[in-house]
Amino acid sequence: MKPHFIVLIALSLLNTKISAQQKHVESNKDKMADLVLDKVSEVPEVKEFLRSGKHSERKHVLMIDSEPHTSFKYYEVKMGYDGDMFITLERFCVNPKTLKVYYWDVMADDAGFSNSAIISLTQWRKLRETALWNKPHTYNSGKLVALAN
């Protein structure tokens, strides 16, 4: 065999191996995304929202908006209406290690991708019933605090 033919075969085999590895990584990412969406869809309020869209003209959906990265360790999942444009109603975060679901209070999150407004579902259920919830607020030591206008 000629040397350049052997090099071509070796490169072809290497390319096949890299391609298989990429598919494996993508497959694992897809499985993790499915797990994350499944976990959020199990939240009773989310389950009810998704069920309520069965006969609606707008599609009620969940979508992963971002994956964990160095400055934000959670999967971000948006719940909302899909149509001509996606309309976000609520945001949830999922810890990729534990698959625990949290609520992301973006109204209180003035720091962008901050962990300060990631609260437990229990906290969310309790706080959203308060008068302060729909007003500008932040958190201090885990407590909801009004922001001055």
pLDDT tens digit sequence for 2-14: 566 565 565 565 4
Cβ distance 132 to 144 under 8 Å? yes
pLDDT digits (tens, 9 = 90+) for 104-128: 988 776 555 556 788 999 999 999 9
- Asked, for residue 6, whether it belongs to a domain, the answer is yes
- pLDDT value of position 10: 54
- Asked, for residue 51, whether it belongs to a domain, the answer is yes
Arithmetic mean of pLDDT over the chain: 81
- Which of the 8 DSSP states describes residue 94? E
Does the pLDDT value for residue 78 go beyond 90? yes
Range of the domain at 40: 1-104
- Asked, for residue 109, whether it belongs to a domain, the answer is no
Report d(CA 63, CA 94) in Å as an integer: 12
Count the domains in the chain: 1
In the block, residue with structure tokens 């932040």: 138
CA angle 58, 59, 63 (to 5 degrees): 135
Does the pLDDT value for residue 24 go beyond 50? no
- Asked, for residue 137, whether it belongs to a domain, the answer is no
- Asked, for residue 114, whether it belongs to a domain, the answer is no
- Asked, for residue 74, whether it belongs to a domain, the answer is yes
